Each structure stands twice: as C-alpha cells, then as structure tokens.
Amino acid sequence: MIRIDLCLVHGLTETGGCIVGGMQDCLGMPQSMISQHLAKLKAAGIVTAKHSRNQVRYEIGSPLVRQVVELLCAGLANGLQRDRRTGV
C-alpha cells in the first residue's frame, strides 16, 4: 500500500505545487484526509502553504526536500524497471 503522504510529496515535487481540490481530484480521496496529511507535512517542515483569497496552495518546503524526493522516486523507478526485466 502506498502511503498518502509520499504520494502528496511526490505530486507536489512533480507539479511545483497544488491546492487541496486538485490533489483530491488526482488521488480520489476525501478532502479531509488530504488536509490532515498536509497539516502533518507542514508541521514537519516538508511542505509550505501559501494563502490566496479562499485557497491554500501547498508546495515543497525546501530545495533539499525536493532533491531527496526526486532521488528517492528515481531510485524506486529504477528498481521497478530492473525487477520487471529480471522477473523478480
């Protein structure tokens, strides 16, 4: 099972930022669940929130976090490709 927080961080890395409604459409999960995970990620300093009128846009909190997520995702993708080739 893929962790929701990892999906959110990966998605924010890929898109550069998003509002909760966009994440809800993409993941097909209730807004309340996404908001709870984003609150935890924000408290940990992983994401930041930018308020604009009645919307909040979430983004990755620092370039270091972005680099770590990109490396992690690239490593996972390479591992999956290798497993498919070897039949593991």
pLDDT tens track for 58-84: 999 999 988 988 888 787 766 656 656
CATH architecture of 4-86: Orthogonal Bundle (1.10)
Tokens 């300093």, residue located: 45
| Domain definitions of the chain by residue range | 4-86
Task: Give pLDDT, residue 35.
Answer: 92
Rounded (5°) CA angle 78-84-88: 105
Bridge partners for 57 per DSSP: 19, 50
Residue 2, pLDDT > 60, answer no
pLDDT tens track for 7-64: 888 889 989 999 998 888 888 889 999 999 999 999 999 999 999 888 999 999 999 9
Q: What b/e readout covers 3-30, taking b as 16+ CB neighbours within 10 angstroms?
A: ebbebbbbbbbeeebbebebbbeeeeee
pLDDT tens track for 24-39: 888 888 999 999 999 9
